[in-house]
Amino acid sequence: MLSKRFFKHHSSEYPGFRHLREGGIISKMRHAFREDIIKCLIYMLMIAIILLYLYPIWVILIIALGADVYQAMPPEIIPLRPHLKGFEYVFSNPSFLQWIQNSLLFTLAVTGASILISIPAGYALSRVRFPGRSILFWLTVLGMMLPLVMLYVPLYIQLTRMKLINTYIGLIVPVIPSAYNVFLMKQAFDSVPEELQDAATIDGAGPFTIAFRIFLPIIRPIVVTAMLFNIVWNWNNFAWPLFAAPQREYWTLPLGVFLSTWSYTIDFWKLAAGGTILFLPPLILYIIATSYFLRGIEFAGLKR
């Protein structure tokens, strides 16, 4: 209000003020200032969300290093007497290498087989014309909506009848099919222009050549992204190994860390040390494959 009166009173005396008003410089400055304020608020919100996500990781790390966050008042934000007894306990366990071996076998076998099955299945749903294709697609979508935990009990009963409990076959094979992977590959193949397939067909290329030698290199970022997601899911899978292979010799790393640190009480610093060891491999893998991961997310958002 004051600025309006000032410009109204002095614009006749000073032509420069009239030029500022007519050129809209003041309004542009106000608009730029408003945009800067909005950007600052957005950045502050993003930083708060990042800190919120990092907080559980920080808590696990400080507990693994011996911080008292349960009885001390106020809780220790930084360990006052840090130690590595939790890591020593986990690494000194005689079965630790067996847990690593079982986790690697389970993760790599399930991920590799699932991706190999999902690529031709996604290509068929995307490019091959056959009766019932739309029905199969919607059944795939329905399979994505059902939590896998719902299938654990019937799968356990079936494996018991087939005497496959506490075997690597029973541990790996039932969780290989993935509706999410099929859906993701189908959407990736949909993003490839049809003109490319028509040109390859004119040149005499068959369906397998088109799928694996032409289309697959194009959708490689989304394939790598799917592999990263599957590796993380399978590496951290706790419930299914507990159902399918409860014997100690088949324990994976999540199962071994929890069951070896739990008796009648839980030593949280041992459990936190095991959790820290557990999340390091996926973190390192993600850092190495960040470029493919970001390209895969970008590719998944493209439309024809």
User: Where among 64, 94, 110 does a domain terminate?
Assistant: 64
Whether the CB-CB separation of 79 and 67 falls below 8 Å is answered with yes
DSSP state of 250: G
Tell me, yes or no, whether 47 and 93 share the same domain: no
CA distances in angstroms from 93 to 170, 174, 235, 260, listed in the order given: 26, 29, 19, 9
Assess if residue 59 is contained within a domain.
yes
Please tell me the total count of domains within the chain.
Answer: 2
Asked whether the predicted pLDDT for residue 11 surpasses 70, the reply is no
pLDDT of 7 reads: 47
pTM here? 0.78
Domain boundaries, position 48: 2-64
Q: Is residue 75 part of a domain?
A: no
Residues 60 and 93 both lie in one domain: no
**Are 96 and 163 contained in the same domain?**
yes
Same domain, 172 and 269: yes
Same domain membership, residue 260 and residue 132: yes
Q: Which residue has the higher pLDDT, 106 or 206?
A: 106
Q: Which of 6-10, 21-25, 78-82 has the lowest mean pLDDT?
A: 6-10
Same domain, 155 and 49: no
Same domain, 113 and 164: yes
Q: What is the pLDDT of residues 81-106, one digit of tens each?
A: 888 888 888 888 888 899 999 999 99
183 found inside a domain: yes
Whether residue 181 is contained in a domain is answered as yes
Report yes or no on 205 lying in a domain. Answer: yes
Same domain (yes/no): 125, 58: no
Distances, alpha carbon 73 to alpha carbons 61, 67, 79, 82, 157, in Å = 19, 12, 13, 17, 49
104-108, 147-151, 156-160, 299-303: least confidently modelled range: 299-303
Where b means 16+ CB within 10 Å and e means fewer, 252-283 reads bbbbbbbebbeeeeeebbbbbbbbbbbeebbe
- Say if residue 252 is in the same domain as residue 128: yes
What average pLDDT does this structure show over 4-17?
Answer: 50
Is residue 80 situated within a structural domain? Answer: no
Same domain, 141 and 224: yes
Q: Check whether residue 179 and residue 95 sit in a common domain.
A: yes
Would you tell me the crossing angle of helices 268-288 and 290-300 to the nearest 10 degrees?
70
Across 18-166, the runs of DSSP E, i.e. the strands, are none
Burial class of residue 223 (count of CB atoms within 10 Å of its CB; 0-12, 13-18, 19+):
buried
In sequence order, what DSSP letters do the residues of 8-36 get, joined into one string? HHHTTT-HHHHHHHHHTHHHHHHHHHHHH
Assigned domain for 78 exists: no
**Would you say residue 76 lies in a domain?**
no
Q: Choose among 17, 266, 285, 236: nearest CA to 107.
A: 236
**Are 167 and 234 in a shared domain?**
yes
* CATH code (residue 267): 1.10.3720.10
